[in-house]
Amino acid sequence: MSDENTVHITSYKEHISTWAALMLLTFMTVAVSVFGAELRTLSVATAMIIATVKATAVGYYFMHIKYDPKLYKWMMGTVLALFVFFMIMLTIDYLTR
Amino acid sequence: MDYSFHLPNSGHNFDPKSSKLGMWLFLYTELLLFGGLFLVYMVYRELNSEAFLLASFKLNVWMGTFNTLLLITSSLTIAMSITALQKGNKKLSINLMWLTILAALGFLVVKYFEWGAKFEHGLFPGMDHYGSLPLGERLYFYLYFFMTGLHGLHVIIGAIFILFVIHGVKKGTVTPERFSLSENAGLYWHFVDLIWIYLFPLFYLIH
């Protein structure tokens, strides 16, 4: 079997570590929101940052992007760049009305 | 096992790389589908931040938290079921997939009670109480029902997808050597989890 066709099998241990990190981050977000309610804007930004860290962990480890060919990272980057572009255009549109 | 079917030109009927690439391309379109809705949310939240804040207090944070933990755990079980299949442990793989489906059903049951409570209070678009709310809160509930509804639909489709994989493993069409279907069901399920990771703080925790 050539190198290219070797299947990478993610270990149970790695999956469980990812899961533990995601659980911890969820508890953190809820704590920030419920117990830090007076820090309104901070908590929205914090919640979004934590959500993005969680999403990255899901994509990178659970969805296997870490071990996939670079092509997948490039495609993902392209789609995310497109989304950010939409977001910026929309923000500029609303700010200049 | 019957491998007698061959495509006319290539002679291959097993192409895991293309299968996976196809699944990812589909997930990108899904990402932009939800992405558009997130942008709508962003604009309306900016224009009606006080109303969105008030409306968000009407959701049950603990039910949302429970569902988040349920989806994250189901992401773990589906990921482990793929590892189990690749290592040749079919029975464990099937059991882990059943656990994932169980979590999906649990998620939907919690959603049923959440939505049910909102219906009782007449908060669904078109109902009396909904109509009496200020515009900002109406937008919030409209987006809440639309986005969690669309996400719930994905949960149902994901569970059915996993059922097909269980069937395939039992029948012998999904094997430790040919696991593309199982891998793709996993990718879809993780995507469902991924969307919820954003929906949860945006609707339940924004205060």
DSSP B115-180: HHHHHHTT-STTSHHHHHS-HHHHHHHHHHHHHHHHHHHHHHHHHHHHHHHHHHHHHTSS-SS--H
- Angle at CA of residue A21, ends A6 and A56, nearest 5°: 60
- The torsion region of residue A8 among left (phi > 0), alpha (psi -120 to 50) and beta comes to beta
Optimal mutation site among A30, A88, A91, interface B, most CBs of chain B within 10 A: A30
Optimal mutation site among B41, B205, B207, interface A, most CBs of chain A within 10 A: B205
> Tens digits of per-residue pLDDT, A25-49?
999 888 877 776 665 555 677 888 8
CB atoms within 10 A of CB A86: 15
| Domain-located, residue B68 | yes
Query: Which carries the bigger pLDDT value, residue A4 or residue A76?
Result: A76
- Angle at CA of residue B54, ends B50 and B56, nearest 5°: 115
Pairwise CB contact (< 8 Å): B39 & A86 = yes
Structure tokens at B206: 């924004």
Pairwise CB contact (< 8 Å): B28 & A75 = yes
Q: Is B87 on the interface with A (CB under 8 A)?
A: yes
> Tens digits of per-residue pLDDT, B11-69?
556 788 899 999 999 999 999 999 999 999 999 999 998 999 899 989 999 999 999 99
CB atoms within 10 A of CB B93: 26
Q: What single DSSP character describes residue B88?
A: T
Optimal mutation site among B83, B197, B203, B204, interface A, most CBs of chain A within 10 A: B197
| Domain-located, residue B27 | no
The CATH code of the domain that includes B187 is 1.20.120.80
* A58: nearest CB among B36, B80, B194: B194
**How confident is the model at residue A93, as a pLDDT?**
94
Q: Cβ distance A43 to A37 under 8 Å?
A: yes
The answer on pLDDT for B190 being more than 60 is: yes
Pairwise CB contact (< 8 Å): A75 & B207 = no
The answer on pLDDT for A3 being more than 50 is: no
Distances (CA, A) of B161 to A49, B54, B169: 31, 38, 13
Query: What total number of domains does chain B contain?
Result: 1
- Cα–Cα distance, B84 to A12 (Å, whole number): 8
The answer on pLDDT for B4 being more than 70 is: no
Q: With CA atoms as reference, report the closest residue to A27 among B190, B152, B62.
A: B62
Return the SS3 of A27.
helix
Pairwise CB contact (< 8 Å): A33 & B205 = yes
User: Can you give the pTM of this predicted structure?
Assistant: 0.91
Pairwise CB contact (< 8 Å): A48 & B75 = no
> Tens digits of per-residue pLDDT, B130-158?
989 999 999 999 999 999 999 999 999 99
Residue type (1 letter), B41 = Y
**How confident is the model at residue B13, as a pLDDT?**
65
Give the percent of chain B with pLDDT over 70.
93
Average confidence (pLDDT) over B101-120: 96
- Cα–Cα distance, B16 to B14 (Å, whole number): 6
Pairwise CB contact (< 8 Å): B61 & A59 = no
Pairwise CB contact (< 8 Å): A15 & B72 = no
Range of the domain at B149: 37-204
* Residue A1 binned pLDDT confidence (cut-offs 50, 70, 90): very low
Q: Is B205 on the interface with A (CB under 8 A)?
A: yes
* B201: nearest CB among A11, A48, A59: A48
**Buried-exposed string B179-197: b where 16+ CB fall within 10 A, e elsewhere:** bbbbbbbbbbbbbbbbbbb
**How confident is the model at residue A35, as a pLDDT?**
75
List the single residue in A with minimal CA-CA distance to B44: A94
Residue type (1 letter), A47 = A
- Cα–Cα distance, B185 to B162 (Å, whole number): 6
Q: Is B32 on the interface with A (CB under 8 A)?
A: yes
> Tens digits of per-residue pLDDT, B114-132?
999 999 999 999 898 998 9
